Amino acid sequence: MDINLIANTKQSFLKYFGNEPEVVILSPGRINIIGEHIDYNDGFVMPAAIDKIICFAFEKSKSITSRIIALDLNEEFSIDFSKKPNLDDKVWTNYIRGVVNQLQLNGFDFEGVNCVFSSNIPSGSGLSSSAALECGFLKGVKELYELSIKPIDIALMSQKAEHWVGINCGIMDQFASVLGVENKVIKIDCKTLEYDYHNADFGDYSLILLDSNVKHSLFTSEYNQRREECEIGLTIIKRKFPEVKNFRDCTEDHILDTKGEMEEDVFKRCYYVVKEISRVIKASIALDNNDIEGLGKLLFETHDGLTREYEVSCEELDYLVDFAKTESSIIGSRMMGGGFGGCTINLVKKGQEEVMKEKIQQLYHDKFNIELKSYDVKIGNGTTIYN
C-alpha cells in the first residue's frame, strides 16, 4: 500500500478544504491474464486488481456545488449535481460526470461533494485508470450519502459511465477494479456475471508488465468498430445456425462454415473470439494445475490472434512479444487490454527479471528511441474504504 500517496492526498484535502476528509477511498487499476476483447462477446476473462491505485479524499460540500481536484494534473472543476451533466473538453472530468449521470438516472438521492484525488496508476498504459476513477468516485459518493448500491452495481454503473464518455467497453475493467481480491485472479463469466477466484500462484515465474509507453490515437474508434464487427458476424452466424444464441454457443466450424458470407475482417474477428473463449477455459485449468508453462503458451497464442486476426496490436507491442519469444527467461507474453499501445504482460523466470528488463530496455530504446518502463505486478484488493 502506498502510504505516501494516501498521506499526501489527505494532507492536500486539509489544505484545500480546511477539514480532515470524511471518507478516503482506494480504487485500483487492473491487469488481465487472458481473455482479451471477449468481455463484450459473452466470453470469460481472467483479470485481477493491482496494487496501483487512485486515492480519493471526500467530504459532503453542504452546498449545491461540488469541487473536484485532480492533484497530479493540478486541475480542478466544479459541478452542480442537481443538473444533468454534459461532456466537457477536459477529458478526465467526463468519467466523473458520467458517474453523476448514472447516479441521477438511477434515481439516487445525493448532494454535493468536495474531493481531492491522486494516483500512482500509470495513465495511458492500459491499466484502466479510467475504471479506477469511475468506481472510486462512485464508491465515495455512495459512502458519503449512504446510498444502497451493491459492488456489482458500482461496476455496472461505472461501465455505463464509460459508455457515456464514448467507449463502448465491456465489464472487465470495472468488475476487476471493484471485486478484486489480494493474490487472486477473478474468472468472470461475462454472459452471466458469475465469477470465482483462483490463486494467483505462478510458481517459478513472476508477472512483469513491459510498458511500451505509446498510446496510438485510434484506440476509441477501432475499439468501437471491433464491437460492431463482432455483432455483424454474430448476426450472420445466427441466421445460418439458429441454435447459436451468442459466441459461447459457436464452434470454430460454425465460423468456418459461414466464412463465405462474411467480409474478411468480420470473419477474422469472429474466428479470434471463438478461439480466445476456449483459450481462457484452458488457461484457468492450467493455472489451477500449476501448469504455468502451458499458461505461457496460451498467452503467446492470444497475442498472435490479437495481432493477426483481431488486429488491435501495434509495432511496439509486437516487438516486445517477439523479443519474449526469443528470450529463454520468458515463457509467455502478450499485449494486454484494449491494444494500440500500453503494456505487454509477461511470465518471467524468477531471479532473471532484472537482467531481462535491462536487455529489453536497451533494445527497445535503440529501436524506437522510447523509454520502456516495467512494473512488477502485485495483485491487490478491489475498491475499498481506507481507515
Look at residues 104, 148, 173 and name the one whose alpha carbon lies nearest to residue 336: 173
- Least distance CB 385 / ligand GLA (angstroms): 25
Cβ proximity to ligand GLA, 24 vs 155, nearer residue: 155
- Least distance CB 223 / ligand GLA (angstroms): 7
Q: In what order do the strands lie in the sheet with 341-349?
A: 330-335, 341-349, 205-215, 373-376
Q: Does 43 bind ligand GLA (CB under 6 A)?
A: no
Name the active-site residue from 173, 204, 211, 291. 173
Positions 115 through 144 that interact with ligand GLA (CB under 6 A):
128
Buried b / exposed e along 166-192 (16+ C-beta atoms within 10 A): ebebbbbbbbbbbbbeeebbbbbebee
Residue from 13, 24, 33, 36 in contact with ligand GLA (CB under 6 A): 36
CB atoms within 10 A of CB 271: 20
Angle at 276 between CA 271 and CA 279, to 5 degrees: 135
Q: Binding-site residue total for ligand GLA (CB under 6 A)?
A: 11
Three-state SS for 164-214 is HHCCCCCCHHHHHHHHCCCCEEEEEECCCCCEEEEECCCCCEEEEEEEEEE
Q: Does 28 bind ligand GLA (CB under 6 A)?
A: no
Cβ proximity to ligand GLA, 184 vs 226, nearer residue: 226
Return phi, psi of residue 217, to 5°.
Answer: -75, -10
C-beta separation of 44 from 190 below 8 A: yes
Which grid cell is 227? 464491437
Residue from 98, 170, 233, 382 in contact with ligand GLA (CB under 6 A): 170
Beta pairing partners, 206 = 348
Cβ proximity to ligand GLA, 149 vs 345, nearer residue: 345
Q: Does 39 bind ligand GLA (CB under 6 A)?
A: yes
- Least distance CB 59 / ligand GLA (angstroms): 30
Q: Does 338 bind ligand GLA (CB under 6 A)?
A: yes
Is residue 173 annotated as a catalytic residue, yes or no?
A: yes
Residue from 54, 169, 237, 348 in contact with ligand GLA (CB under 6 A): 169
Cβ proximity to ligand GLA, 116 vs 165, nearer residue: 165
Dihedral sign, Cα of residue 142, residue 147, residue 152, residue 153: negative
Cβ proximity to ligand GLA, 57 vs 131, nearer residue: 131
Cβ proximity to ligand GLA, 138 vs 172, nearer residue: 172
Q: Does 176 bind ligand GLA (CB under 6 A)?
A: no
Residue from 134, 173, 211, 316 in contact with ligand GLA (CB under 6 A): 173
Rounded to whole angstroms, how far apart are CA atoms 306 and 300?
10
Positions 301 through 330 that interact with ligand GLA (CB under 6 A):
none
384-385/23-32 β-pairing? antiparallel
Residue from 26, 172, 200, 347 in contact with ligand GLA (CB under 6 A): 172
3-class SS shares of the chain: helix, strand, coil, % to 5: 45, 25, 30
Rounded to whole angstroms, how far apart are CA atoms 250 and 255?
7
- Least distance CB 62 / ligand GLA (angstroms): 35
Return phi, psi of residue 185, to 5°.
Answer: -100, 140
- Least distance CB 336 / ligand GLA (angstroms): 8
Cβ proximity to ligand GLA, 61 vs 159, nearer residue: 159
Give contact residues for ligand GLA (rule: CB under 6 A): 36-37, 39-40, 128, 169-170, 172-173, 337-338
Active site residues: 173
